[in-house]
């Protein structure tokens, strides 16, 4: 994969001080972006030490600072609560100043309708302007809009043109999307073996995301002979290159002994690395170990902090654990009402067991007054979602 320095293309004019201050931050984000990792991990990892600098740069009128602060709000970095409304406000300031990375980020918000009303045409225009300024992944994003955003927008021929252009410019995600076209038979004859060949080529040329996808194919034997050992090695390559999802997958493999010896200490180290790059499953993995005192000294205060970070990113397992800790007063002072709110958020997000746990709290008055009617309603919802404990408890109450 061809690597180019894009800073001069993506930055509007800055003060010399601002440019020097933020160059390394932007280059770290661009390096991850060009390898298919995205920018969230670099921002999350650097934010604890750099957030105040980014705020100061934004105050001085530096659009790179505005974009970086916006990314912190988007991913919940630097201790911020995730807020796409806030993220959009900062992206817009940077985009209007001509900062192409911000145009790419803002386009994604308009495409998904996060923090702003959904506007497909506005998203496409912003992606186009970002692409023309040198953000190669924006060409891939324009292609994805024409592949995945509904039949009314579907245009495989134009999408393929954009993917070919992005691939020629060195974008790491475009070859992967082309491989997916072959795997699905989308605009080309379906050929899963060809899809794997394309993923392998992209991986060998430096696409970290393609390396991770290739690992999954090797693990499952999809389009190739199943080879868990090679899959693990490919996943390790992606993890070593900085992919937080791959780091988490390595942690799971080491914990479970998938194509390797069980090594829980190494698993925890990989999960820690994943968590430092903002991966909510990695945070939850580490928090559970700290909560139980397994393979690490028990540290309920830090476990609670990690659960809270992961919960704010939408991790339902973290929501349940955080809610339970707050109700029971473990790792922090007891806050039963807040704990119940987190259990309900997990339940309403689709975690069937959370309905059972919420019902149990209502029934037994653990963290709340006893409400048998409310407990029964929770058990019914858990049972409808297939939770065995909720089914059994509901049956017991109905005897």
Boundary of a domain, candidates 241, 271, 286: 241
pLDDT at 313: 96
| Token code pair at residue 217 | 């194919």
| Residues with Cβ within 8 Å of residue 50, at least 6 apart in sequence | 25, 68
The structure tokens 């060009």 sit at: 34
pLDDT at 332: 80
Rounded distance, CA 30 to CA 176, Å? 18
Rounded distance, CA 373 to CA 158, Å? 56
- pTM score: 0.91
| Token code pair at residue 195 | 């899809």
Q: Are the C-beta atoms of 75 and 61 separated by less than 8 Å?
A: no
The domain that holds 95 is classified in CATH as 1.25.40.10
Residue 104 and residue 14 share a domain? yes
Residue 209 and residue 183 share a domain? yes
Boundary of a domain, candidates 94, 114, 135: 135
The structure tokens 């005897």 sit at: 399
Residue 188 forms part of a structural domain: yes
Residue 170 and residue 230 share a domain? yes
Residue 297 forms part of a structural domain: no
Residue 131 and residue 2 share a domain? yes
Residue 213 and residue 126 share a domain? no
Residue 193 and residue 110 share a domain? no
Residue 298 forms part of a structural domain: no
Residue 168 and residue 123 share a domain? no
Residue 33 and residue 70 share a domain? yes
Residue 153 and residue 121 share a domain? no
pLDDT tens digits, residue range 237-282?
A: 999 999 999 999 999 999 999 999 999 999 999 999 999 999 999 9
Residue 173 and residue 43 share a domain? no
| Token code pair at residue 371 | 């409400």
Residue 121 and residue 19 share a domain? yes
Structural domains counted in the chain:
3
The structure tokens 């985009």 sit at: 95
Residue ranges making up the domain that contains 397: 350-399
Boundary of a domain, candidates 135, 158, 185: 135
Residue 388 forms part of a structural domain: yes
Residue 155 and residue 61 share a domain? no
pLDDT at 19: 52
Positions in the chain short of pLDDT 50 = 1-18
pLDDT at 212: 97
In sign, the C-alpha dihedral spanning 244, 246, 250, 255 is positive
């Amino acid at each position: 994969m061809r690597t180019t320095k894009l800073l001069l293309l993506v930055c509007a004019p800055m003060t010399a001080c601002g440019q020097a201050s933020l160059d390394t931050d932007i280059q770290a984000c661009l390096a991850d972006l060009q390898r298919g990792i995205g920018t969230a991990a670099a921002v999350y990892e650097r934010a604890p030490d750099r957030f105040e600098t980014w705020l100061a740069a934004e105050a001085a009128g530096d659009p790179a600072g505005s974009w970086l602060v916006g990314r912190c709000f988007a991913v919940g970095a630097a201790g911020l609560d995730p807020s796409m409304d806030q993220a959009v406000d900062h992206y817009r300031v940077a985009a209007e100043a001509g900062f192409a990375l911000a145009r790419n980020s803002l386009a994604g918000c308009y495409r998904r309708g996060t923090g702003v009303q959904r506007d497909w045409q506005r998203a496409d225009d912003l992606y186009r302007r970002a692409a023309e300024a040198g953000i190669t992944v924006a060409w891939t994003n324009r292609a994805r809009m024409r592949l995945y955003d509904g039949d009314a927008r579907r245009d495989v021929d134009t999408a393929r043109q954009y993917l070919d252009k992005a691939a020629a410019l060195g974008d790491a995600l475009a070859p992967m999307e082309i491989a997916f076209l072959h795997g699905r038979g989308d605009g080309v004859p379906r050929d899963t073996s060809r899809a794997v060949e394309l993923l392998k080529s992209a991986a060998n040329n430096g696409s970290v995301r393609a390396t991770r996808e290739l690992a999954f194919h090797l693990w499952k034997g999809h389009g190739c002979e199943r080879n868990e050992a090679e899959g693990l090695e490919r996943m390790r390559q992606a993890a070593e290159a900085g992919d937080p999802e791959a780091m988490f997958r390595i942690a799971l493999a080491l914990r479970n002994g998938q194509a390797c010896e069980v090594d829980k200490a190494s698993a925890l180290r990989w999960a820690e690395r994943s968590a430092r790059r903002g991966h909510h499953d990695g945070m939850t993995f580490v928090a559970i170990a700290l909560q139980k005192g397994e393979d690490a000294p028990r540290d309920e205060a830090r476990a609670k902090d990690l659960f809270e970070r992961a919960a704010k990113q939408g991790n339902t397992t973290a929501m349940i654990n955080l809610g339970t800790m707050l109700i029971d007063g473990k790792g922090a002072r007891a806050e039963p009402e807040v704990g119940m709110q987190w259990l309900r958020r997990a339940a309403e997000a689709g975690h069937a067991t959370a309905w059972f746990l919420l019902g149990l709290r209502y029934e037994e008055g653990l963290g709340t007054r006893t409400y048998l009617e409310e407990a029964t309603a929770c058990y019914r919802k858990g049972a409808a979602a297939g939770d065995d404990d909720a089914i059994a408890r509901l049956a017991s109450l109905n005897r």
